[in-house]
Chain A
Amino acid sequence: MTRVHDMGGRYGDGAVDPAPDEPMFHAPWHRRAMALTLAAGAIGRWNIDAMRHAREAVAPQDYARFSYYEKWLAGVADMAVGRGMVTRAELAAAGDAAIGDQAGGEAGGEAGTAPPEFGPADPRALRPADVETILRRGSPSTRPGAAPTFTPGDRVRTRLPARNLAVDGGHTRLPAYAAGHLGRVLRHHGAHVLPDSNAHFLGEAPEPLYAVAFDAAEIWGSAERAGDEVVLDLWESYLVPAEHSE
């Protein structure tokens, strides 16, 4: 019932490499992959929840072997096909052409390095002059919505198991490690778009969102130090009042 991206608490990943002097991008294609993902997203054929889910939904063996921007590319390719922007045949043909261009370039030509031709613009295509405005505006996820049931200090329990209630195998933002645990509401963030619904284009279904604190020992069985905490942002439908489950 979990997916490979839901890795909080997992054992075996080894040490973190802080790499203090790394470049912003490790390869030229990383730059293009980042910009392509943002530019394609600006068209509005999908939302950020759907894109996160597309990345999570790649096969576990692909998720594990893909680098960060390869996951982004897979998400864009799968979404572009899934949302009817391109066909599988067009995608395959574009791949073959890129391979051909590279072979031509290696033979001494300039193919494959010039900027691609921009066809008749889709009315929603992001244009250079609008980029800064769009990036500075972002996409706020607050919406008018129901008043919160819980108030700071309330004891709550997360649902068990962590799963999408409407779509089998669907997107959710309740990590498996935090499911079924007792926590305490720290703050209410207002009503926010519910990813479990929005990722599947089933509507924004806004719900109250809370920061909920969990004692590390409650979640992991033992803590590195008594009193350490983990805080997660959780939607109201992820929570039940603590007394109902005890």
Chain B
Amino acid sequence: MPHDSHDHDHGAHALLPPDPALRVRALETLLARKGFVDPAAMDAILDFYENRIGPRIGATVVARAWTDPDFRAALREDSTAALAAEGLLGRQGEHMVVVENTPEVHNVVVCTLCSCYPWPLLGIPPSWYKSDAYRARVVREPRKVLSEFGLTLPEAQSVRVWDSTAEIRYLVLPMRPEGTEGLGAEALADWVTRNAMIGTGLPERPQ
């Protein structure tokens, strides 16, 4: 059986300076000078994720699912196709499954092996999602971890933790809160927090 070559040539990164800011600078300068990375393209990437992508997109999807039965049915039937029709797929969200919370089941999403996350719908993942503590613990003791977010689930609800081990990205469709019956999709989207779409929170009345 061949051995993993990474174990023999890994450590090239150790040739870079100890200060990570200088490490980035050195790598960016080298890859730019060699024509592999255009620093202006890096700026465009940052503009995209800092200014045009974020959890508001996911919140809009959730609010529409609450108010548009056909859209909800389409998400249930094939989330990827339903979101593709809206132009809402993309890098790290090429294949989507929307999982619905019910009075019987509460869904929580994690990636124990790295930090897979639905970027096109939620943006850049928060630190806690990438932390060792979340990755290690939420599969084994989800209720304890949720309590650290201030969320206590009723005994009647089972927990289903989705470990994102492949290229399928999961978005939690929370239950529509009571007291929002008169609201339209636009106003409802304000209730949908990022954490509610990961499963570590519930929709909240906007501040």
Q: A19-B126, A58-B13, A78-B12 are in contact. Are A169 and B3 (CB under 8 A)?
A: yes
Of chain A, the residue at the smallest CB distance from B105 is A229
Complex: A193 Cα to B2 Cα, angstroms: 21
- Is B4 in contact with A167, judged by CB distance below 8 angstroms? yes
- Is B6 in contact with A53, judged by CB distance below 8 angstroms? yes
Whether B24 sits at the interface, judged by CB under 8 Å, is yes
In the complex, how many residue pairs between chain A and chain B have their CB atoms under 8 Å apart?
A: 368
Whether A148 sits at the interface, judged by CB under 8 Å, is no
Across the interface, which residues of B come within 8 angstroms of A95, CB to CB? 15-17, 22-23, 26
Of chain B, the residue at the smallest CB distance from A124 is B36
Whether A27 sits at the interface, judged by CB under 8 Å, is yes
Q: Tell which of A13, A26, A56, A139 touches B94, judged by Cβ atoms closer than 8 Å.
A: A139
Across the interface, which residues of B come within 8 angstroms of A6, CB to CB? 112-113
Whether A18 sits at the interface, judged by CB under 8 Å, is yes
User: What is the distance, in angstroms, from A2's C-beta to the closest C-beta of chain B?
Assistant: 11
Q: A117-B33, A118-B39 are in contact. Are A16 and B149 (CB under 8 A)?
A: yes
Complex: A121 Cα to B95 Cα, angstroms: 32
Q: Tell which of B3, B28, B41 touches A32, judged by Cβ atoms closer than 8 Å.
A: B28
Q: Tell which of A10, A16, A189, A231 touches B161, judged by Cβ atoms closer than 8 Å.
A: A231
Whether B11 sits at the interface, judged by CB under 8 Å, is yes
- Is A122 in contact with B34, judged by CB distance below 8 angstroms? yes
Complex: A175 Cα to B138 Cα, angstroms: 14
Across the interface, which residues of B come within 8 angstroms of A204, CB to CB? none
Across the interface, which residues of B come within 8 angstroms of A80, CB to CB? 12, 27, 31, 36
Name which of A98, A117, A125 has the most chain B CB atoms within 10 A of its CB: A98
Q: A95-B17, A116-B28 are in contact. Are A125 and B113 (CB under 8 A)?
A: no
Of chain B, the residue at the smallest CB distance from A58 is B10
User: What is the distance, in angstroms, from A69's C-beta to the closest C-beta of chain B?
Assistant: 7
Complex: A30 Cα to B13 Cα, angstroms: 16
Complex: A231 Cα to B163 Cα, angstroms: 6
Complex: A15 Cα to B7 Cα, angstroms: 32
Q: A17-B128, A118-B39, A128-B40 are in contact. Are A94 and B20 (CB under 8 A)?
A: no
User: What is the distance, in angstroms, from A192's C-beta to the closest C-beta of chain B?
Assistant: 6
Complex: A27 Cα to B22 Cα, angstroms: 13
- Encode B168-180 as 1/0 by CB contact (under 8 A) with A: 1000000000000
User: What is the distance, in angstroms, from A148's C-beta to the closest C-beta of chain B?
Assistant: 14
Q: Tell which of B23, B127, B166 touches A209, judged by Cβ atoms closer than 8 Å.
A: B166
Name which of A7, A115, A193, A230 has the most chain B CB atoms within 10 A of its CB: A230
Q: Tell which of B113, B131, B158 touches A173, judged by Cβ atoms closer than 8 Å.
A: B113
User: What is the distance, in angstroms, from A172's C-beta to the closest C-beta of chain B?
Assistant: 9
- Is A173 in contact with B13, judged by CB distance below 8 angstroms? no
- Is B32 in contact with A117, judged by CB distance below 8 angstroms? yes
Q: Tell which of B17, B46, B161, B165 touches A229, judged by Cβ atoms closer than 8 Å.
A: B161
- Is A74 in contact with B13, judged by CB distance below 8 angstroms? yes
Name which of A136, A168, A227 has the most chain B CB atoms within 10 A of its CB: A136
Whether B182 sits at the interface, judged by CB under 8 Å, is no
- Is B144 in contact with A86, judged by CB distance below 8 angstroms? no
Across the interface, which residues of B come within 8 angstroms of A54, CB to CB? 6, 10
Listed stretches B64-72, B83-91, B183-191; interface member: B83-91
Complex: A118 Cα to B33 Cα, angstroms: 5
Name which of A48, A52, A73, A200 has the most chain B CB atoms within 10 A of its CB: A73
Complex: A102 Cα to B33 Cα, angstroms: 18
Across the interface, which residues of A come within 8 angstroms of B138, CB to CB? 16
Complex: A235 Cα to B168 Cα, angstroms: 12
Q: A85-B34, A128-B38 are in contact. Are A168 and B2 (CB under 8 A)?
A: yes
B-contacting residues, A46-99, CB 8 Å: 48, 52-59, 67-70, 73-78, 80-82, 85-86, 88, 90-92, 94-95, 97-99
What would be 11 A-B contacts, judged by CB atoms less than 8 Å apart? A8-B136, A18-B200, A29-B24, A59-B10, A116-B39, A121-B35, A125-B38, A138-B90, A139-B91, A177-B112, A233-B163
Q: A70-B23, A82-B9 are in contact. List 14 more A-B contacts (CB 8 A).
A: A5-B114, A73-B24, A85-B31, A86-B34, A91-B26, A94-B29, A126-B38, A128-B38, A131-B48, A136-B90, A187-B97, A189-B95, A229-B160, A231-B162
